[in-house]
Chain A
Amino acid sequence: MAERVTQEPDRQEREAQAATSAVPSAGSDGQPVALQTEAHGQKPAAGTREAIYDLDDVGVTYGSVPAVREVTFPIYQHEITALIGPSGCGKSTLIRCLNRMNDLIPAASVTGKVSYHGQNLYDDEIDPVQVRKHIGMVFQKPNPFPKTIYDNIAFGPRVLGMDGNMDEIVESALRRGALWDEVKDRLKTNAFGMSGGQQQRLCIARALATSPDVILMDEPCSALDPISTGRIEDLMLELKENYSIVIVTHNMQQAARVSDRTAFFIVDLKGEESHRIGHLVELSPTEKIFTNPDDQRTEDYVTGKFG
């Protein structure tokens, strides 16, 4: 746990900022007190978990083409929530709403409410840069920067102006990313020289270095071999002790192996122009989804009848 100490000042500072913020947040009244007292890093008893996200009737359209509609579900702290469904069901689109990465696509527009700790992320007053500071993301294809391993990790802390010994921050992040032992002797070599699996773990470690609260993973293993995939799944299980994780995957086994809760999406044709629009079928504990789902379509999908 030694490495956790190094991130403590940053966390405190952030809280201090939050406490002194002049702008009262819209959802502050509805925020349960329990959340404030829940010890960070301590696994709360099952069933008493707090929702960090509350999605309320969320829809995304690209230009005039709808991609996903009417999504309502909560995401709980210190859990792994998997989003599964056939391709085109909007699960990748949806996960990109959770840290406002959709902003990068000018034509994308989001309706409904994506509440994060009671604050609607799509409020006019919300700063997407602040959002992404708290909510890290790992992408489908490993995307290390064309820099050294060290600089890849240090990039986030540097741009955020984090205090502390950079060497320690880097080491701590690489340890948490289960990569330290493999790369500690070549921190100053280019990250492009790593294997695909190592690159992806580097990207995870890079996200951890800025001490986020949530990590979003958009099909993080789709470009990796089974062994690398296994290592990343192990890593995810370790990380959920301290972080909340949302993962998009089209690998059902992966969802079954790692996630606590699974949201199943489906795509259907809508309207005269037959747009393919995704929507949520059900969100349940993973075990239930795979053994005794509420919806027939979920059962058909997980048993391989379609998709």
Chain B
Amino acid sequence: MSAVPEAGLSRKVVERASSGQRTKDLMFRLALLFSVSVGFVVLAALVLDVMIDGASRVSLDFITSFPSRISPESTGVKSALIGTIYLMVLCAVFIVPVGVATAVYLEEYANRDSRLSRLIEVNIQNLAAVPSVVYGILGLAFIVRGPLGLGPVLLAGALTLGLLVLPVVIIVSREAIRAVPSSIREGSLALGATQWQTIWKQVLPGALPGIATGVILALSRAIGETAPLLVIGAATFARFNPEGITDRFTAMPLAIFEFISDADTEFRAAGAAAIIVLLALLVVMNAGAIFLRNRYERKW
């Protein structure tokens, strides 16, 4: 790093800052612009493609009908949408307390240099990089079968997805907690408040907008996941709604997977329509996160 190539900027370079250099600069700039546009063009193409294929299929009927294996025209995503909403709620119930508690422990209690807290930190960093399909294996071996033996039910799906997005909640919550200035903690402790009173009544309320944003982001990642649910054996096709947390279920990404894997390509339009429904749900959630951030974020 120390060899910052100042040498490369020798006099020669400076003298040649002529028309040739200017053309090169322009080309470079255009290449960069092209690079940036790739992301946007693909995003636009993707949305357009889905819209063209599926917009005409999105209707109230579509989200209130069970799927059909025979009729691409009358198939729907009722069970999948309900499954996804259940998953989201269950997942939130799991990740909010565990994620926030972990963040509070690491930021407010743990001694930074202790082995335990370093182990936890490295561990969270690594978990964030583990492919989602591997979480599926964990869910399959530990939650669906093995020790918990729940079977491929809602609770198993929610726990698997929860473990998958837990690092997101922890990392974002830690940042939000760290952003609360220490003068607030000092003020509270100096009044004789205990550490927990300080955290519960001062730190967490101050960090709440950030934490909420993180939770929403985590949940929007969770409900878009396909691979772990496939691996744990969740249904891709279900003509029933889950009625309890120990019922079998399906979810939006699985329904999409089923539609577009069908040998009958007529079902692809339904797949596109299901994608529109899922994306709409994600847009609403992200808009909520942005609103929370802008409305309540505190400038300390």
Instruction: Say if the two chains contact directly (CB < 8 Å).
Output: yes
CA gap between A207 and B197 in the complex, in Å: 16
* A155 touching B189, Cβ below 8 Å: no
Q: A159-B193, A159-B197 are in contact. Are A104 and B188 (CB under 8 A)?
A: no
Q: A145-B202, A146-B206, A146-B298 are in contact. Are A139 and B192 (CB under 8 A)?
A: no
Say whether A49 faces chain B, with CB atoms less than 8 Å apart. Answer: no
* B190 touching A99, Cβ below 8 Å: yes
* B183 touching A210, Cβ below 8 Å: no
Q: Which residue of B lies closest to A129 (CB)?
A: B194
CA gap between A133 and B193 in the complex, in Å: 8
Distance between A33 CB and nearest chain B CB, rounded to angstroms = 28
Which B residues lie within 8 Å of A144 (CB)?
187
Say whether A203 faces chain B, with CB atoms less than 8 Å apart. Answer: yes
Query: Of A136, A139, A146, A160, which one neighbours B186 at CB under 8 angstroms?
Result: A139
Distance between B30 CB and nearest chain A CB, rounded to angstroms = 48
Query: Of B186, B191, B194, which one neighbours A206 at CB under 8 angstroms?
Result: B191
Say whether A101 faces chain B, with CB atoms less than 8 Å apart. Answer: yes
Say whether B185 faces chain A, with CB atoms less than 8 Å apart. Answer: yes
Distance between B48 CB and nearest chain A CB, rounded to angstroms = 45
* A159 touching B184, Cβ below 8 Å: no
Binary interface profile of A, 223-249, with partner B (CB < 8 Å = 1, else 0)?
A: 000000000000000000000000000
Distance between A230 CB and nearest chain B CB, rounded to angstroms = 24
Binary interface profile of B, 212-229, with partner A (CB < 8 Å = 1, else 0)?
A: 000000000000000000
Say whether B111 faces chain A, with CB atoms less than 8 Å apart. Answer: yes
* B186 touching A159, Cβ below 8 Å: no
* A139 touching B191, Cβ below 8 Å: no
Which A residues lie within 8 Å of B197 (CB)?
159
Q: Which residue of B lies closest to A132 (CB)?
A: B192
Say whether B118 faces chain A, with CB atoms less than 8 Å apart. Answer: no
Total count of chain A residues near the partner, CB < 8 A: 25
CA gap between A269 and B150 in the complex, in Å: 68
* B193 touching A155, Cβ below 8 Å: yes
CA gap between A145 and B190 in the complex, in Å: 13
Which B residues lie within 8 Å of A141 (CB)?
183
Distance between B33 CB and nearest chain A CB, rounded to angstroms = 43
Binary interface profile of A, 39-65, with partner B (CB < 8 Å = 1, else 0)?
A: 000000000000000000000000000
**Residues of A126-172 contacting chain B, CB below 8 A:** 129-130, 132-134, 136-137, 139, 141, 143-146, 155-156, 159-160
Distance between B152 CB and nearest chain A CB, rounded to angstroms = 46
* A106 touching B191, Cβ below 8 Å: no
Say whether B201 faces chain A, with CB atoms less than 8 Å apart. Answer: yes
Q: Which of A99, A129, A139, A159 has the most CB of B within 10 A?
A: A159
**Residues of B173-212 contacting chain A, CB below 8 A:** 181-195, 197, 201-202, 205-206
* B206 touching A133, Cβ below 8 Å: no
CA gap between A104 and B189 in the complex, in Å: 9
* A137 touching B298, Cβ below 8 Å: no
* B191 touching A159, Cβ below 8 Å: yes
Which B residues lie within 8 Å of A155 (CB)?
188, 191, 193, 201
Which A residues lie within 8 Å of B190 (CB)?
99, 101, 132, 136-137, 139, 207
Which B residues lie within 8 Å of A203 (CB)?
187
Distance between B276 CB and nearest chain A CB, rounded to angstroms = 41
Q: Which residue of A lies closest to B185 (CB)?
A: A104
* B192 touching A129, Cβ below 8 Å: yes
CA gap between A107 and B298 in the complex, in Å: 30
Query: Of B182, B184, B189, B195, which one neighbours A145 at CB under 8 angstroms?
Result: B184
* B201 touching A101, Cβ below 8 Å: no
**Residues of A90-119 contacting chain B, CB below 8 A:** 99, 101, 104, 106
CA gap between A141 and B181 in the complex, in Å: 12
Q: Which residue of B lies closest to A103 (CB)?
A: B189
Q: Which residue of B lies closest to A155 (CB)?
A: B191
* B183 touching A139, Cβ below 8 Å: yes
CA gap between A206 and B187 in the complex, in Å: 9
**Residues of A233-290 contacting chain B, CB below 8 A:** none
Binary interface profile of B, 22-37, with partner A (CB < 8 Å = 1, else 0)?
A: 0000000000000000
Query: Of A106, A134, A139, which one neighbours B187 at CB under 8 angstroms?
Result: A139
Q: Which residue of B lies closest to A106 (CB)?
A: B111
A interface, CB within 8 angstroms of B: 99, 101, 104, 106, 129-130, 132-134, 136-137, 139, 141, 143-146, 155-156, 159-160, 203, 206-207, 210
Question: Closest 9 A-B residue pairs measured CB to CB?
Answer: A133-B192, A156-B191, A143-B183, A137-B190, A159-B193, A143-B187, A159-B197, A132-B192, A129-B194
**What 4 additional pairs, Cβ within 8 angstroms, besides A129-B194, A132-B190, A155-B193?**
A136-B191, A139-B183, A143-B181, A210-B191
A-B contact pairs, 20 of them (CB 8 A): A99-B190, A101-B190, A129-B189, A129-B193, A132-B189, A136-B190, A143-B181, A145-B184, A146-B184, A159-B188, A159-B191, A159-B193, A159-B194, A159-B197, A160-B191, A160-B192, A160-B193, A206-B187, A206-B191, A210-B191
